Every structure is written in C-alpha cells, then in structure tokens.
Structure 1
Amino acid sequence: MSLRTCWLNGSFMAEEHAHVSIFDRGLLFGDGVYEVAAVFNGRLLDADRHLVRLARSQREIGIPAPYDGATLEAMMQEVATRNGITEGLVYLQVTRGAAERDFSFPAEVHPTAFAYARAKKLSDDPNASGVKVHPVPDIRWQRCDIKSTAMLAQVMAKQAARESGAFEAIMHENGLVTEGGSSNMWIVRDGVAYTRPTSSDILAGITRDVIFDVADEVGVKVVRRAFTLEQAYAADECLLTSATSFVLPVTQIGQHQVGGGAPGPITKRLRDGYLARAARLTA
C-alpha cells in the first residue's frame, strides 16, 4: 500500500512524516473542529459550504482561523489530486494547538491544521438498496451544532450500531429523533419528507442543506419538523443524508421494517437528484 500525501500546517508531506505534538489540545481535550468533504469525478463537492461551517465552528469555540476558505479549498483539492482520488473524501481538522495541559485556553497558541484523503465509492454505493439503523439514546452535550472532534458519544453510538448488525445509529432524546451517529435522519409520510429543524440539538448537515434544494428541483415537499421513533417506525420511508454516504434509504430501524423493507420512491427521487447535481457540479 502506497503512503498517502497529507497536508500539515501549510506543507504537503508523506503520511509517515505527518506528526503532531502529544501536547496538542485536540489530542488532550478534543479541543478542535473538523469537516469532511466529498470528492466526485476527481473534484471537491460543496467544499465551500463545508468551509463556511468550519469557520462558524471555529468562531463558536474561539479558535483563530489560520487559513482563509479559498486557501483551504485549494489545498483540499490538491490533497485529493495528489492522492489520485476520483471518488472519496477529504478530511480537514483544526485544533487549538499544542500547549501545556490546562483546561482554560492558553494565552498564546497557534492552531494545528491538517488534511488527508481516502478513496470511497459514492456513486454506486452498495448500501443504496437500504440499510438498518439502531436506536440509541442521545447522550451528547448541548452544542451539537458545533462540528467538534470530541465525539465519544457518537463513537459509542456507532459501535452499538455495529454490534447490533446495523449500518448506523439513530439517536433519540425525550422521545424525539435527533440525528444519526454521523448523519441526518429523515422520514417520508404521504409523499412529504420530514427532518428535524436546525437548532443546537443537531449538526446542520451540508448534504441535508443541499437536499432542501434538490427537493425543490425534483418536486418533493420538505417540512422541518421533529418526529418520534414511533413515527419513524410507521413511516412510508426513512432515509439518512451525509457527506460520506450522500442519500441512503433506511429500510429497518431496530427490529422494525420500514416501507416494506425496500427503498421508497421519494428516497430514490432525492438520491437520483443529488447524484445528478453532483455530476453537474463536478463535470
């Protein structure tokens, strides 16, 4: 296996040379933020939107922006190109930086920024025939709108899903579905798609936002309204959206089959519309 080319603090290098300090606050406290952008037809997809969200996450926790969005977007494309990625993902992380271990912010510290890429099949996803999700309580903090690297709750949720034979977790709190372990959740009832409104309870997914536009294009009505697990069990369709999976049908929630166990027409329309848009933007 050939070594990947990574980017660290302004320089491209082989992954064997990409090292960060053991005193980096991203390692010690999870004090950092990140984004993952898809690569389609060899080109970044919606990286500009991801970088707007990254900048917001940095502002919300007080991490200075060491690079502007244009610089980061060009770098991410270069990481993908240097690694020969035609379909896959580019991961970008920014931490507060390395300093003596103390909970409060250090007076002077320079952020650590790095990125790498990996191949992943996105257009012909084998999961497009439907996936199972596993219900778990949502035990996260109250600022889920910040894309923090502190993701122990999501790690535990996704591990529980794996151990149950599921593709993803579906998290719930106070009787309402919040989101997936690393995705946004939707249901369809009587031809209308429902997803939870934007708030600090969920991460406002970039793919989710794109689907709002795609839904207009393909004639699907979307309502931003929270729903319960029971409503998800009884839905005509269920689906998840994320930058790493685009749009996937959910055909089973725990032991409950959804929509007869097959992808529904609205999910297919949204997935096809999303892929068509991706093809246009990266042609």
Structure 2
Amino acid sequence: MEIGYINGEFVSLNEKVIPIDERGHQFGDGVYEVIRIYDGKPFMMEEHLERLINSAKAIRLPITESVDDFKSLIMKAVEKSELHNCNVYLQITRGIATRQHLFPNVPASISMTVREANPLSDEMRNTGVTAITHEDERWANCYIKSLNLLPNILAKQVAHEAGCFEAILVRDGYVTEGTSSNMFIVKNGAVYTTPLSKHILPGITRIAVKEIANPLQINFYEEHFTEDQLMSAEEIFMTSTTAEVLPIVRVNDKPIGHGVPGEVTKKLYEQFKRKVETL
C-alpha cells in the first residue's frame, strides 16, 4: 500500500498532517529527493542522500540524521508499504514555527511518501517523446534540489499544453536542462551534456549514464551547447529518476535526426537496464 511518513510517524496519504506554520508549506523552505526502488532494491540511494545533505547545507538547513539513518528509514518505509517497485519522495524543511523570514530555532521537519512506480510505456520508449524549448527563468542556484519549483512547473505546463512531454530550458542561448531532467545530445556518435554548475541539478541518472558510456565505448563530454546545436543534433535524450533514459525525437515540432530514437540512446538505455538488474 502507498504510505506516508512525517516526523517519526507512518500515516495514511489521506491523513491531514501538515500544520499551517510548516515552513515548507509557507516558504518552500526545504529540500527533497526522489529515490527509485526496483524489485525492493534502491537505485543509487547513497548518491541521492549525499545530494540531499549537500542541498540542505547549501540552504543552511541543519540535519542531525546521517546517510545511514535515512537509509534505514527509507527501507523501513518500503518494507512497511510492501511495494516492490516504487518511488520514495523524501522531504526536509526548516521546521514548524510562526511565520517569519528569519531562521527559527526549531528541529527540521522530515516527511516522506512511498508510492507505486508508474514506469513509462514501451510505446513511449520505442517511439520517443517530444519537447519544446523554453527560456530558463529559474533562480541562480538550480544545483540545490529545493522545494521551489514554480518556474519548472510553469514551463512543464506550457510543454504539456503544446502536446509535449518536456520543456528544454535555455539560458543566454545555451541549453541548461529540462524542467525535471538533465539533457543530452549526440554528435558524431558522442554524448554531450551541460557541465555541472550552479545552473543545473547534478542528476543521479546523469551520473549513471556517464558511468555506463565508457564500457560501451561511447565518448562522453561535459560541454555547453547552444539551442542551434540542440536542433541539429543526431539524437537527443533526457534522464531522470522516473524517466530513466528517454529519447526525444521532436523539438519545437521539428524532427531530431531521423525523427526516431537513435542507436546511441538505445544502447545507453539497454546498459542502464542491465545496471538496474545487477542491484
């Protein structure tokens, strides 16, 4: 069953548990992670939790729990849910205190949900998805996985209303990432993705793709690329915890390459699946 957790107590997802003065609710003052569980086993959980703690440090949010503490809590929740393939959303906020901008002297608030995973269909993977480009209107510190996602939501909605799966964000003429994904292009058989900086999230599936490219003898480069280079790419694909490795075959209603998922993307996805199978 799908379940929730808040500050030491497992609860029904329908239970009313968030106080009015919760700073995540009032300010978006917190950070989060999404961890995929495959057949009861977490995928790259250590990397997810290290990113969570780094995000908390970046917003000066003190966390007393260790990575091992969070691992134990997550696996206890997964076991309690009896779900073998699920997504775990773990959220930490600055706590519960009377509304004011200054940091309160209260404990952090920890909440979590465990929900059944809804993998993308084989049809989507076999035919690829579509995207639009959109101005990157987010703040300057996108490397922090914060709760403040309004610009992402607005861009994603624009993409949806255009009949597309994702919006590819562009800042000063250069592609940064998607609204909820890292972005990659293929040129001369090599993979290119935006270098890590404050302007993009250090994706966990991005790490996995970088690792699996080498045994496939696919060159992997972290270099900036323009919107024009995006549109002239041989292939485009996106990565995220929930989408995994997903081909994009049309952008702004124009075909990318031959308008079908490319061979490099297919090879990377197959290798990604093998990595999951060895958990």
Q: TM-score range by the shorter chain?
A: over 0.9
Bigger drift between 240-249 and 69-78 goes to 69-78
User: Does the 8 Å contact 1:87/1:122 carry over to 2?
Assistant: no
Alignment-derived partner of residue 114 in structure 1: 111
Inter-partner Cα distance in structure 1 for 2:119 and 2:278? 15
User: Does the 8 Å contact 2:133/2:251 carry over to 1?
Assistant: yes
SS at match of 1:73: helix
Alignment-derived partner of residue 31 in structure 1: 29
Alignment-derived partner of residue 43 in structure 2: 45
Inter-partner Cα distance in structure 2 for 1:126 and 1:83? 29
SS at match of 1:7: strand
Shift of 1:182: 0.3
TM-score, normalising length from structure 2?
0.96
Letter of the aligned partner of 1:118 in structure 2?
R
Shift of 1:162: 0.6
Letter of the aligned partner of 1:249 in structure 2?
P
Shift of 1:30: 0.5
Shift of 1:123: 7.8
1:93-146 CA-partner distances (Å, limit 9, x unpaired): 00001111111212x111111111122243865421201011110001100000
Inter-partner Cα distance in structure 1 for 2:203 and 2:122? 20
Inter-partner Cα distance in structure 1 for 2:241 and 2:94? 25
Inter-partner Cα distance in structure 1 for 2:247 and 2:108? 39
1:57-81 CA-partner distances (Å, limit 9, x unpaired): 0111111114211121122222223
Alignment-derived partner of residue 271 in structure 1: 269
Alignment-derived partner of residue 125 in structure 2: 128
Alignment-derived partner of residue 215 in structure 1: 213
CA-atom RMSD, angstroms? 1.4
TM-score, normalising length from structure 1?
0.94
SS at match of 1:99: coil
SS at match of 2:54: helix
SS at match of 1:16: coil
Inter-partner Cα distance in structure 2 for 1:220 and 1:171? 25
Alignment-derived partner of residue 188 in structure 1: 186
Structure 2 gap ranges (5+): none
Shift of 1:16: 3.3
Alignment-derived partner of residue 98 in structure 1: 96
Shift of 1:163: 0.4
Inter-partner Cα distance in structure 2 for 1:42 and 1:177? 36
Q: Write out aligned runs for 1:166-245 (5 A).
A: 166-245=164-243
User: Does the 8 Å contact 1:132/1:166 carry over to 2?
Assistant: yes
SS at match of 1:86: coil
User: Does the 8 Å contact 2:173/2:226 carry over to 1?
Assistant: yes
Inter-partner Cα distance in structure 2 for 1:225 and 1:113? 37
Inter-partner Cα distance in structure 1 for 2:151 and 2:41? 32
Alignment-derived partner of residue 148 in structure 1: 146
Question: Alpha carbons of 1:66 and 1:135: their partners in 2 closer, same or farther (altered >3 Å)?
Answer: same
Aligned residues: 278
User: Does the 8 Å contact 1:35/1:91 carry over to 2?
Assistant: yes
Inter-partner Cα distance in structure 2 for 1:71 and 1:10? 12
Inter-partner Cα distance in structure 2 for 1:94 and 1:17? 19
Alignment-derived partner of residue 56 in structure 1: 54
